Amino acid sequence: MKKTAQKWLAILPLALLGITMAGTPIIPMPAYAASEKSFSDVPAGHWAYDAVEKLAQAGIVDGYGDNSFKGDKTISRYEFAFITAKAMEKFDTAGESNQELIDQLSSEFAAELNRLGARVTKVETKTNTWVGGETRMRIVQNDSNRGGKKLGGADHFDFRQRFKFWGNVNDNISWAGRISTSTSNKFGDAESSTGSDVNLDLMTVSAKDTFGFDNIRIGRSALDFYTNGIFGKAGNVDGVYINKKWGDVNFRGWTGNIKSSATNDANQLTTGEVDFKLADNLNLKAGYYAADVEGTSTTAGTGTLNTNTGRFDSSQGWTAGMKYKFGKYTLLGDYVSTTLDGATNLPKHPKGWAVQVSNSQGPAALYPAVNLVNPAKVGTDAWMVSYRNIDAGTIPSGAGAFDVTAVADPTQPYSVFTHGTDNEKVLFLAYQNVIAKNVLVSLEYQDFKIKNRGLTNLPSDRLDKTYMMKLEFFY
């Protein structure tokens, strides 16, 4: 649960007035006769009960007392104000219809909100600084079918700690930053220098309604998943993002540096994409990218390409994506067609695609670009099945969304840790369950095979099978 000292000060008067979320006074009511109107019950049948019930079902508020909103029990205006204040904290992540409900509730209970110290407008609900975080623990295993190195000892257990800070500069400008541990934090390896490394993997400033765009973001961030997620990166890319929406058509673009380089090369990636809604259950995407990122190989199979031969100087290509909802299921598809510049010993026009079927009701993106479930909604679960088939060189090195999703020795040839989106055919299965509020358990399985064995020295197309269980805590 994300809280700030200022937010607690904002709701402190409610506690001092003796009202609990169960509606039981802890201080005798007569002491507050001057506020009698605000303590009055909201009559049964009032539209606010239905509004809060909808917000509770959407996971925006926790409900009433025992985490289920009791629409058949009248509660006071101050209790409604308390619930509304918590909903206002999640305004920016709520859907359009839920944002309208929050606006209506904040208007209805404006007087009570002001007495609580909460502001009515959605921008003013933000404090200058917010703090949140995530703790992740994993158990991993692999089955190297080609006789490669298997994980052992401390390699089977690792953790990651993230702390995020964000807030507003003014009504139009916001900022965000995140500190994260490195990827080498292994249980049983505490004395290793990498086991305590941390880095600033997010640091951005965003402006709304600026220079004709709905949003402009600059700084260090995640590489926003391109199409439905065949492109992507969790953090540590530096660049500029722009977004503009016209009705059911949405444009977004990004340009920046996607990976470090010992030779100070630009490693620039530029993307542009249009997303348009054809029907209530069907969205299509189309885009173009250009990458000043070279592809390299070594005879040992440890280059940026998942090959032991070939190279290229740069690449560009076009992309397509689709989202189709049928009943409680969602079908996602991505396609990429690339042209390699200066290609040697490689097909000049590689292609790649990915499909995913899931019963997830969350945001439409290839797992694990986003979770399948909302960690705040206890008892929910979801599964997904995906398959990807990607030629060598299709996705620029540093932009593969499936890289580092499996755990394996990064130094071994054709490592599925560093090469999760190149010259491969992969079956990916996942299941997630919210076992307690903000506590998420995930099970993952990936079966990796080489796409074009002629570009390797492998005796068969079998690579690794990886197994993973994650326990994540969000706050």
Supply the pLDDT for residue 193. Answer: 55
With vertex at residue 340, the alpha carbon angle to CA 335 and CA 345, rounded to the nearest 5 degrees, is: 115
Supply the pLDDT for residue 76. Answer: 78
- DSSP-derived 3-state class of residue 41: strand
Indicate the residue among 116, 150, 184 that finishes a domain: 116
Q: Give the model confidence (pLDDT) of 194-240 as tens digits.
A: 556 788 888 999 999 999 999 999 999 888 767 898 988 877 889 99
Question: Where residue 231 sits, what CATH number does that domain have?
Answer: 2.40.160.10
Question: Poorest-confidence range of 133-147, 156-170, 290-304?
Answer: 133-147
Residues 234 and 304 in one domain: yes
At a CB cut-off of 8 Å and minimum separation 6, what does 170 contact? none
Q: Give the model confidence (pLDDT) of 379-432 as tens digits.
A: 899 999 999 999 999 999 999 999 989 888 777 889 888 899 999 999 999 999
Residue 300 has pLDDT above 50, yes or no: yes
Q: Give the model confidence (pLDDT) of 256-294 as tens digits.
A: 998 876 566 678 999 999 999 899 899 999 999 999 999
Indicate the residue among 116, 145, 180 that finishes a domain: 116
Alpha carbons 443 and 73: distance in angstroms, whole number: 40
Q: Per the domain annotation, does 251 fall within a domain?
A: yes
Q: Per the domain annotation, does 448 fall within a domain?
A: yes
For residue 254, with 0-12 CB atoms within 10 Å meaning exposed, 13-18 middle and 19 or more buried, which class applies?
buried
Alpha carbons 375 and 67: distance in angstroms, whole number: 14
Residues 342 and 393 in one domain: yes
Q: Per the domain annotation, does 125 fall within a domain?
A: no
H-helix or E-strand containing 78? helix 77-89
Number of domains present in the structure of the chain? 2
Q: Per the domain annotation, does 280 fall within a domain?
A: yes
Cα–chain center distance at 450: 28
Q: Per the domain annotation, does 35 fall within a domain?
A: yes
Residues 401 and 290 in one domain: yes
Torsion from C-alpha of 407, 411, 412, 418, nearest 10 degrees: 50
Q: Give the model confidence (pLDDT) of 302-335 as tens digits.
A: 899 999 999 999 999 999 999 999 999 999 999 9
Return the closest-CA partner of residue 109 out of 87, 78, 64.
78
pLDDT above 90 as % of the chain: 43
Cis amide bond preceding 396, omega within 30: no
Residues 112 and 186 in one domain: no
- Greatest mean pLDDT among 49-63, 192-206, 437-451 lies in 437-451
Supply the pLDDT for residue 421. Answer: 93
> Which residues sit opposite 278 in a β-bridge?
none
Supply the pLDDT for residue 263. Answer: 61
Residues 308 and 419 in one domain: yes
Q: What is the CA radius of gyration of the chain?
A: 25
Mean pLDDT of the chain: 81
Residues 91 and 153 in one domain: no
Answer for the pair 267, 293: CB distance below 8 angstroms, yes or no: yes
Distances in whole angstroms, Cα of residue 280 to Cα of each of 222, 284, 321, 357: 29, 12, 16, 18
Pairing of strands 231-246, 314-326: unpaired
Return the closest-CA partner of residue 336 out of 387, 252, 393.
393
Residue 126 has pLDDT above 60, yes or no: no
Residue 49 has pLDDT above 60, yes or no: yes
Residues 187 and 78 in one domain: no
Question: Poorest-confidence range of 34-48, 147-161, 233-247?
Answer: 34-48
Distances in whole angstroms, Cα of residue 381 to Cα of each of 235, 320, 326, 362, 406: 26, 29, 18, 11, 22
H-helix or E-strand containing 104? helix 96-108
Alpha carbons 40 and 38: distance in angstroms, whole number: 5
Q: pTM of the prediction? A: 0.73
Residue 247 has pLDDT above 70, yes or no: yes
pLDDT band, very low/low/confident/very high, at 440 (cuts 50, 70, 90): very high
Return the closest-CA partner of residue 406 out of 148, 222, 210.
148
Answer for the pair 365, 356: CB distance below 8 angstroms, yes or no: no
pLDDT band, very low/low/confident/very high, at 24 (cuts 50, 70, 90): very low
Residue 355 has pLDDT above 90, yes or no: yes
Residues 228 and 320 in one domain: yes
Domain ranges, residue 26: 5-116
Residues 278 and 421 in one domain: yes
How many residues make up the chain in this entry?
A: 475
At a CB cut-off of 8 Å and minimum separation 6, what does 287 contact? 226, 227, 271, 272, 273, 274, 318, 319, 320
Residues 197 and 54 in one domain: no
Residues 265 and 400 in one domain: yes
Indicate the residue among 84, 116, 148 that finishes a domain: 116
Structure tokens at 306: 């998942």
Residues 111 and 141 in one domain: no
